[in-house]
Structure 1
């Protein structure tokens, strides 16, 4: 009989799968190392086991102890599997930009999940780096994993992932492409492959808002490069000890939008349901295609499963809200199709300005049309109100007709965006669309900007 003693025995030996449609413009043979076949559905299972085993061996982790780690979700899942089998408790500290699915999955496998804000400095006491360290000092019989600086991370990939790729390609691999977060995968695999063949090129995929690419090229840690981004699992605002820059031949950066779009393309064109970093890796690979020759064998690693991102990259509304959904925006109604069903908020000429302010606050809008029995006769926007208030502190008690501006221009349904844009001026902040049957909707500058792709 063939069976594993427990779920940990199924980690590794993940398949290489040829990519066909999504990389058809690439001259080389492109093979994906699909790490979703690990039981925790990510590459992180490998290093989770290794880090725990090494901590057990040298006494850092004691029987019945509590494992504490800051994670984007996948390492936490790997640690949870080991914790279940080995009898440990687990606390996962995660940033609020990570998908809800990741948090729910961690709770489902017994982890306590602590959520921290994303938009803070690494040294901020609220950051998930700081909270992880603090919990480790406060929790009796605990061990802080620190996957970023724990070199067992890279060692796991040196001992497992690298040899697998070498054996699966029969040593024919010429390029390895992978997203870089903690740096364990790229450094461990890169070290093994370069020992086998120094000519193999190791390419890292970075994201905008991360410091890796510039630091690799210049040696400068530029804090101006650091800002919030959507892509999960790759990029950093620190320099983890696991990132061995000497092993990396170069980086390319991929935008949040491209990462999201290509994540969906992999599912739709290859039938491989993988996560956000895989989309970034494929788009990065396409950006690097000038480096590949027809006889080359390029291996790209897919970190995790698309199931972690069902509410994000695989959700049309989420994609549309961020301008990531590739839909043609050509006519007036295309710009506001997400809220076409909402009623047009208006005020009447005889109402008080305070009523308009209350309505604008309630509906979180900056412009509002003014009507009377004949139709649209004026408009109010925040700049009108601001100027009126500077001139008269009692503006709120005046009738709207005394301070309103000119009515917003009205265009027909089907009007081209090119014809609408010139209607926005310093004195005019919105345009009304006549939808027919007496219905109108408003387009603002924000709507036009939001439609830019």
Structure 2
């Protein structure tokens, strides 16, 4: 049995598992590289160790220093394990949208956790990346790991992950599939496999459908740690230097629902409790494998553990609230769901949304609820509200193009025709004034697969309408009366 002098020595050397059940019927075998079996629970342990050792070697990190990093959680955990073991203070600045379990794990390992937003323009001083830069400047002896632009990130995978996969498959790997977050894992691993195979290995990126890496509109998605989100207010869209685009031969774009439900299948059918980005990667790998023959071999990388997502991905209630889960709770569950109400009213298209300035789709059957854009004037908003059922509409972040619909996370509040008319009549607002001056509270939200009794409980006092969510995006507006008593 292997004995280590330190937990750091246990980073890497993760096993491959054949996905025999999910890959049943496919000619090409699919093997999963279980990176969640690293000591810190993710592939980011490799990059963390590589970056710390490089910083020490280059004199950027000295005894008694402080490690600072912006993270969705996993890199911060790796840096905390390595850093605390080597005597450093660690400050992990975590996205406020990351699963709460990650912050709890960080604190358990001894990190100081600072929560900061990512759903603001990149130039906003409160943005996660700007917060870490400010801390690095203010704290003596601080070193910013900067995984997005640090060359030691992809180098970790050139030296370790790539060689492991090549050796484990006996050089038979023909396709490598991984998500793209900072880009370090796919760039380093892919570069090594291409080099050692003489260009014989094809590298495929697995990306959330709306991520801009693979050509999406950059709107929010619900898979953590991969993809590229672009806030509509961001002036300059910077991609990570750790991502080497020339290494990636192509992309598979995976909808959130497919990612989340595939991850759950991994746990239930293969015994691999992995995170949502693993679901994205496996869904992509299965698509790739369907096009291949028995002479091919696909390796897909599973980045992290599902233990960090028990309150989200592995919570049926969470999935139902956001409209990702519609299967009955049990064999005897016959209660109608919100979808039944929408279907009875003519359904909805399931995609599409209004353009900037509040113009666009109408009622639920025409591509989504009527919305008002946050940069619209009150006069423009009133014109839109006249077409909205009940004169009520959510106010959403302005964006020029939204082919994937409006994410519920982009809803800022609500507006009613009555409130706008009252504000104008009382002189509290001008027709050319912003809608934000009379912004009301956000509407309640209900998932399309929620039972009616549960959906009714989502309404707050005085609320008569709610947004219906399917796959985390607003698809309709439903009134309390439509859900029964």
1:30-69 paired onto structure 2 within 5 Å: 30-69=30-69
CA distance in structure 2 between the partners assigned to 1:295 and 1:2 by the alignment = 34
Counterpart position of 2:429? none
Counterpart position of 2:70? 70
Counterpart position of 2:250? 250
Counting matched residue pairs gives 361
Counterpart position of 2:159? 159
Counterpart position of 1:362? none
Contact 2:178 2:204 in 1 (8 A): yes
Contact 1:161 1:189 in 2 (8 A): yes
* Farther off after superposition, 290-299 or 186-195: 290-299
CA distance in structure 1 between the partners assigned to 2:196 and 2:256 by the alignment = 34
Change (3 A) 1:38 1:78: same
1:268 aligns with 2:260: no
Alignment deviations for residues 217-239 of structure 1 (CA, whole Å, 9 cap, x no partner): xxxxxxx8222221101012441
CA distance in structure 1 between the partners assigned to 2:466 and 2:48 by the alignment = 49
Q: CA deviation at 1:181?
A: 0.4
* Farther off after superposition, 253-262 or 186-195: 253-262
For normalisation by structure 2, the TM-score amounts to: 0.68
Contact 1:335 1:448 in 2 (8 A): no
Alignment deviations for residues 5-59 of structure 1 (CA, whole Å, 9 cap, x no partner): 1111111110000002222253210000001111101111111111000100010
Change (3 A) 1:170 1:390: closer
Counterpart position of 1:343? none
Q: Secondary structure of the equivalent of 2:53?
A: helix
Change (3 A) 1:14 1:332: closer
Contact 1:336 1:443 in 2 (8 A): no
Counterpart position of 1:241? 241
Q: Secondary structure of the equivalent of 2:123?
A: coil
Gaps spanning 5+ residues in structure 2: where? Answer: 230-237, 341-389, 392-414, 427-447, 457-462, 477-485
Q: CA deviation at 1:118?
A: 2.6
CA distance in structure 1 between the partners assigned to 2:84 and 2:25 by the alignment = 45
Counterpart position of 2:141? 141
Change (3 A) 1:312 1:392: same
CA distance in structure 2 between the partners assigned to 1:124 and 1:451 by the alignment = 27
Alignment deviations for residues 167-216 of structure 1 (CA, whole Å, 9 cap, x no partner): 000000000000110111111111111111112100011113422113xx
CA distance in structure 1 between the partners assigned to 2:280 and 2:322 by the alignment = 17
For normalisation by structure 1, the TM-score amounts to: 0.73
1:321-336 paired onto structure 2 within 5 Å: 321-327=321-327, 333-335=336-338
CA distance in structure 2 between the partners assigned to 1:175 and 1:213 by the alignment = 18
Q: CA deviation at 1:263?
A: 1.1
Change (3 A) 1:104 1:174: same
1:373-452 paired onto structure 2 within 5 Å: 446-447=467-468
Counterpart position of 2:397? none
Counterpart position of 1:212? 213
CA distance in structure 2 between the partners assigned to 1:242 and 1:448 by the alignment = 35
Counterpart position of 1:8? 8
Counterpart position of 1:311? 311
Counterpart position of 1:411? none
* Farther off after superposition, 230-239 or 11-20: 230-239
Q: Secondary structure of the equivalent of 1:177?
A: strand
Q: Secondary structure of the equivalent of 1:225?
A: coil
CA distance in structure 2 between the partners assigned to 1:149 and 1:384 by the alignment = 48
Contact 1:118 1:228 in 2 (8 A): no
Q: Secondary structure of the equivalent of 1:304?
A: coil
Counterpart position of 1:190? 190
CA distance in structure 2 between the partners assigned to 1:195 and 1:267 by the alignment = 33
Contact 2:274 2:306 in 1 (8 A): yes
CA distance in structure 2 between the partners assigned to 1:313 and 1:74 by the alignment = 16
Contact 1:335 1:451 in 2 (8 A): no
Contact 1:254 1:283 in 2 (8 A): yes
Change (3 A) 1:443 1:292: farther
Q: CA deviation at 1:392?
A: 10
Q: CA deviation at 1:447?
A: 5.0
Change (3 A) 1:384 1:166: closer
Gaps spanning 5+ residues in structure 1: where? Answer: 215-223, 338-365, 368-381, 394-416, 418-430, 436-441
Q: Secondary structure of the equivalent of 1:4?
A: coil
Counterpart position of 2:21? 21
Contact 1:47 1:152 in 2 (8 A): yes
Counterpart position of 1:298? 298
Alignment deviations for residues 381-420 of structure 1 (CA, whole Å, 9 cap, x no partner): x979669969999xxxxxxxxxxxxxxxxxxxxxxx9xxx
Contact 2:223 2:256 in 1 (8 A): yes
Contact 2:95 2:118 in 1 (8 A): yes
